[in-house]
């Protein structure tokens, strides 16, 4: 490929930007900076000298061959492309030249970098790893008229708010979310029994979920719904399972996910703090933090109200709703109980919705929650006649299936179909596939059953070793244009 000549290119100046030299995150600089002056990165708080105007270079066909940042005294340059070095022009023309991997740092630039290093404020932590759950501060935080409200990123001027007792609202929320996680690797062994009411399409059943937990790879789950039951025992890298029918698999997945992580996962990271205020919640005065998260592509969002007891500063309730990435959520968590350093909701309600399928309503009450020094008997013994497969606690949720040959159905047809339980072999082929509910459209169900026998699902690995895994297939919506 011919290297583009200067006569072939044109340059277009972009907006003022900054790129952090520590975490490599870029953002529009706006009113934050002056050229050549160090400022802290909004993500990792390291002082970043790389502020300037991005200039894009295009070849004669309109393709971008490079981009660079013009900075009065300090500069960063990145090259992406076809045999093109990042080039900075001589100092007399405002820029430096760099060829290949060997770059010479000019003496004036080195002096400025050293000056910025010694000018770091006492509170800044040079070299700290970035926290990806943080967003840059807003350039113009919204004004607040609510007592105790947190403008922008959660700093409150109310002396009676959460601020005096906690280092920050975000830290307060993170501690509360961590305290709800009973299954961290360093958590104490525990026994939990949950009684729940489960309803789909007006069909309701009662059941129990019980777990004996001694570690991420050492636990026993017993799930009962009506007359159906499933027992799962994890011992090291093996999972032992007995179940009466696949009808129990999807309710187990939904109840397990709620009990394991009561707070919707997407709302625990990368959220915006909207306000903090004293509010009346079920007749009690609470200090409540309101957060929100919006998807820029779909404009969908989720919101949550997290309330604390004003005296003990302990979490008291959570209410979360929204539709984020086409997955509606509606969760209420109340009656929190302390268990050592943990704090967990004893009453949980949730509406679990999967795309294109009817929602499941869950109303759960925790009957037993206790730390255990020694379990009675041996709850981790594999149940008789159990199926065994390779397994690991780090196995991620199965990737979505992309297969253009799968059957699709109109919206009104989907309500007559059911999700399919699928057991996938290590090579991605289907070992077992059955609907989890009786379908009102046997013809549509047969179309799915015929196709799924030959489908190729994504391969899942434990480390580098492919393993069998269980997943669910949701019938596909036919797009009508």
Cβ(51)–Cβ(70) below 8 Å: no
Q: How far apart are CA 334 and CA 307, in angstroms?
A: 10
- 299/68: higher pLDDT: 299
Residue located via tokens 């930007």: 17
| 49-69 average pLDDT score | 48
Same domain (yes/no): 203, 331: yes
> What is the H or E stretch that residue 254 is in?
helix 249-260
Q: Residue 176 — very low, low, confident or very high, per pLDDT cuts 50/70/90?
A: very high
> What is the H or E stretch that residue 334 is in?
strand 327-339
The segment with the largest mean pLDDT, out of 24-33, 69-78, 354-363, 367-376, is 367-376
Which domain-ending residue is among 391, 415, 443?
A: 391
Q: Which of 353, 416, 328, 358 is nearest to 201 (CA)?
A: 358
State how many domains the chain has. Answer: 3
CATH code of the domain in which 243 resides: 2.50.20
Same domain (yes/no): 380, 410: no
> What is the H or E stretch that residue 115 is in?
helix 107-118
Cβ(353)–Cβ(250) below 8 Å: no
Instruction: Tell me the three state secondary structure of residue 411.
Output: helix
Same domain (yes/no): 357, 463: no
Same domain (yes/no): 422, 473: yes
Q: What percent of the chain has pLDDT over 70?
A: 65
What's the pLDDT score for residue 20? 52
Reported residue count of the chain is 481
What's the pLDDT score for residue 131? 45
Domain that holds residue 309: 151-391
> pLDDT (tens digit, 9 = 90+) per residue, 268-296?
988 989 999 899 998 889 999 999 999 98
Residue located via tokens 């949720």: 397
| 151-177 average pLDDT score | 59
Same domain (yes/no): 400, 382: no
pLDDT surpassing 60 at residue 117: no
Q: How far apart are CA 407 and CA 313, in angstroms?
A: 53
Q: How far apart are CA 314 and CA 308, in angstroms?
A: 5
Relative to beta strand 460-462, strand 360-371 is unpaired
Same domain (yes/no): 95, 161: no
Tell me whether residue 135 is in a domain.
Answer: no
Same domain (yes/no): 20, 100: yes
Which domain-ending residue is among 361, 391, 421?
A: 391
Q: Which of 235, 199, 239 is nearest to 218 (CA)?
A: 235
How wide is the angle at C-alpha 135 spanned by C-alphas 134 and 136, nearest 5°? 125
What count of other Cβ atoms lies within 10 Å of the Cβ of residue 424?
Answer: 25
- The structure's pTM equals 0.66
| 143-168 average pLDDT score | 40
What's the pLDDT score for residue 279? 93
Tell me whether residue 126 is in a domain.
Answer: no
Sign of the alpha-carbon dihedral angle for 161, 167, 168, 169: negative
Same domain (yes/no): 21, 158: no
- 480/166: higher pLDDT: 480
Tell me whether residue 128 is in a domain.
Answer: no
| 239-267 average pLDDT score | 95
Same domain (yes/no): 359, 423: no
Same domain (yes/no): 193, 297: yes
> pLDDT (tens digit, 9 = 90+) per residue, 432-476?
999 998 888 999 999 999 999 999 999 999 888 999 999 999 999
Ranges of H-type helices in 141-210:
169-179
Q: How far apart are CA 448 and CA 34, in angstroms?
A: 60
> What is the H or E stretch that residue 245 is in?
none
Backbone angles phi and psi of 57, in degrees to 5: -110, 130
Same domain (yes/no): 228, 339: yes
User: Tokens representing 123?
Assistant: 């509170």
**119 to 23, 39, 40: CA distances (angstroms):** 19, 10, 11
> pLDDT (tens digit, 9 = 90+) per residue, 181-239?
999 988 999 999 999 999 998 899 999 999 999 999 999 999 999 999 999 999 999 99
């Amino acid at each position: 490929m011919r290297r583009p000549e200067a006569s072939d290119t044109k340059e277009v100046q972009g907006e003022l930007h900054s790129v952090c030299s520590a975490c490599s995150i870029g953002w529009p600089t706006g009113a934050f900076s002056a050229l050549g002056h160090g400022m802290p990165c909004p993500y990792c708080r390291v002082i970043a000298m790389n502020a300037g105007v991005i200039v894009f270079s295009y070849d004669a066909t309109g393709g971008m061959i490079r981009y660079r940042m013009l900075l009065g005294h300090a500069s960063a340059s990145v090259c992406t492309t076809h045999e093109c070095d990042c080039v900075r022009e001589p100092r007399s023309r405002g820029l430096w030249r760099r060829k290949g991997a060997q770059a010479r740092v000019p003496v004036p630039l080195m002096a400025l970098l050293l000056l910025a290093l010694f000018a770091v404020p006492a509170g800044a932590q040079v070299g700290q790893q970035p926290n990806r759950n943080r967003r840059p501060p807003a350039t113009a935080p919204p004004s607040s008229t609510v007592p105790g409200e947190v403008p922008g990123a959660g700093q409150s001027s109310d002396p009676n708010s959460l601020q005096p007792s906690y280092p920050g609202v975000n830290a307060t929320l993170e501690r509360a979310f961590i305290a709800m996680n009973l299954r961290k690797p360093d958590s104490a062994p525990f026994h939990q029994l949950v009684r729940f009411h489960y309803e789909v399409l007006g069909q309701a059943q009662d059941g129990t979920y019980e777990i004996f937990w001694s570690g991420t790879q050492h636990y026993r789950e017993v799930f009962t719904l009506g007359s159906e039951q499933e027992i799962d025992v994890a011992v090291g890298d093996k999972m032992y399972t007995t179940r009466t029918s696949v009808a129990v698999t999807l309710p187990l997945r939904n109840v397990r996910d709620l009990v394991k992580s009561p707070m919707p996962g997407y709302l625990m990271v990368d959220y915006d703090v909207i306000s903090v205020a004293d509010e009346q919640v079920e007749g009690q005065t609470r200090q409540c933090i309101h957060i929100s998260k919006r998807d820029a592509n779909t404009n969908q969002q989720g919101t949550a109200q997290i309330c604390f007891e004003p005296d003990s500063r302990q979490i008291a309730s959570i209410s979360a709703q929204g539709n984020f990435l086409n997955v509606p959520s509606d969760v209420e968590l109340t009656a929190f109980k302390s268990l050592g350093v943990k704090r967990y909701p004893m009453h949980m309600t949730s509406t679990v919705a999967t795309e294109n399928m009817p929602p499941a309503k869950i109303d759960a009450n925790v009957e037993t929650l206790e730390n255990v020094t020694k379990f009675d008997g041996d709850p981790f013994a594999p149940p008789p006649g159990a199926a065994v497969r390779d397994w690991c606690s780090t196995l991620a949720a199965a990737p979505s299936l992309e297969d253009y040959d799968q059957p699709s159905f109109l919206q009104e047809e989907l309500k007559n179909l059911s999700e399919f339980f699928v057991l996938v072999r290590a090579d991605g082929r289907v070992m077992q596939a059955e609907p989890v509910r009786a379908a009102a459209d046997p013809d549509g169900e047969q179309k799915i059953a015929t196709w799924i026998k030959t489908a190729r699902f994504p391969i899942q690995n434990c480390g580098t070793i492919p393993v069998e895994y269980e997943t669910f297939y949701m019938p596909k919506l036919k797009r009508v244009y």
